[in-house]
Structure 1
Amino acid sequence: MHSINTNVSFHSRLNSEFLLSGDNSKKLPRNYMDYLCFRTFCCKGPPPPRPEYDVVCIGLTGSGKTSLLSRLCSEATDSIVPTTGFSIKAVPFQNAILNVKELGGADSIKKYWSRYYQGSQGVVFVLDSASSEEDLEVGRTELHSALQHPQLCRLPFLILANHQDKPAARSVEEIKKYFELEPLARGKRWILEGSAVDNMDAVKESFTQLINLLEEKEQETGRI
């Protein structure tokens, strides 16, 4: 925003000098000519800063949250350990930066998740699509709770059915049906995609879809 305001001010000053220069058809202010040369031979000014969004990432221990985020940040994943408490990563994308607050998924931590929801603009929920029926049911309960939480229910959701590279993985359609997403999330902004650490291009595309939803929500908020 600052660069835009600076340009507007600069153009206003140039226009004033131009109007006061007398014969406008023959005389242009020197700094205006310098500006045109700069635009022609260098560039069109610095690119606008990428917008930043604060996103909370939740899911059970073992769902693969840390591995996916580390790979998105081009970090080594050889010594990944489950997150205890929370961690924050600035994940860069071409059109935005996501400040992702990842919350640990252990039973002792889940009960405190809601304390970290404030200020979130979007939600990433990661589930292990190859987990046991018991863990899948727990994940289903936690996702339903998040979708209905007062601080999250109006936010865009990216739901990743992770570990699609494992033989026991349920398909995206199976997850959608089992988690009853159509009736529960009707009217909400949400995306359900499969994911795996060996296909990060698809993961990046899923996050790009989330960014698009975040931008749409921001534009709608700006019109209110």
Structure 2
Amino acid sequence: MQVHNKHPFVIFVFFLQCFRALCCKGPPPPRPEYDVVCIGLTGSGKTSLLSRLCSEGTETVVPTTGFSIKAVPFQNAILNVKELGGADNIKKYWSRYYQGSQGVIFVLDSASSEEELEIARNELHSALQHPQLCILPFLILANHQDKPAARSLQEIKKYFELEPLARGKRWILQPSSLENMEAVRESFIQLIGQLEEKDLEPGRV
């Protein structure tokens, strides 16, 4: 029986190629980072959503006082989310924290009372028209969609007058709940897409 051995040079080249493939590619390019501000009334669920996106527990979540910053990782980008507390004595200072923002996340409780929904509507209108935010992409999350009293996206869109108010802006309206975090993650990925396309003509999503 005759055995055919590979030439030593061929073996050397093979291992050299493997070495280059494993060791010589260098570190992957850094993911872009975007600074976004997250606003909404107390009880809208901002903190719980962000905690869950960061794989943190929500059992001990308490309303944010002042502000907190979380780095939320995604495959192609990192969102540095500055969450502002939604209490009456805090939200009047929201505008002090808008500077440097590249995008906006507004979370509303779609199952809240008419009175609270009206307050949320006024706050969203104010944010959409603020000089430092008005040209930025907006992600609006109609949260608590798992509750029986939750209003539909069409009801939210009509009540908040989003079509006329946000005309000419880049905005995304999506349902959300802690029961469907995959959908929440997809909403954030849509926002990242808007942030990546800074030169895109403004339009509704």
Name the TM-score class by shorter chain: 0.7 to 0.9
Matched, 1:166 2:147: yes
Paired position in structure 1 for 2:13? none
1:4-23 aligned at under 5 Å gives the runs: none
Match of 1:144 among 116, 120, 125: 125
Amino acid in the other structure paired with 2:170: R
Paired position in structure 2 for 1:68? 49
| Structure-2-length-normalised TM-score | 0.87
Shift of 1:47: 1.4
- Give per-residue Cα distances to partners, 1:64-105, cap 9 Å, x unaligned: 000000000001110111101100001101110000000000
Q: 1:39 touches 1:45 (CA, 8 Å); kept in 2?
A: no
Quote the Cα distance in structure 2 between the aligned partners of 1:100 and 1:90: 6
Q: Gapped runs of 5+ residues in structure 1? A: 1-34
Match of 2:173 among 176, 192, 197: 192
Q: Gapped runs of 5+ residues in structure 2? A: 1-15
Q: 1:56 touches 1:122 (CA, 8 Å); kept in 2?
A: yes
Match of 1:101 among 82, 94, 97: 82
Shift of 1:218: 6.4
Match of 1:154 among 116, 131, 135: 135
Large movers: runs of 4+ above 4 Å = 35-38
Bigger RCO of structures 1 and 2 (CA < 8 A, at least 6 apart): 2
Question: Using a 3 Å threshold, how does the CA distance of structure 1 residues 41 and 92 change in structure 2: closer, same or farther?
Answer: closer
Matched, 1:203 2:184: yes
Paired position in structure 2 for 1:135? 116
Q: Normalized per residue, which structure has more helix?
A: 1
Q: What SS does the corresponding residue of 2:197 show, helix, strand or coil?
A: helix
Shift of 1:39: 3.7
| Structure-1-length-normalised TM-score | 0.80
**Aligned length in residues:** 187
Q: What SS does the corresponding residue of 1:55 show, helix, strand or coil?
A: strand
Shift of 1:217: 0.9
Matched, 1:118 2:99: yes
Shift of 1:173: 1.0
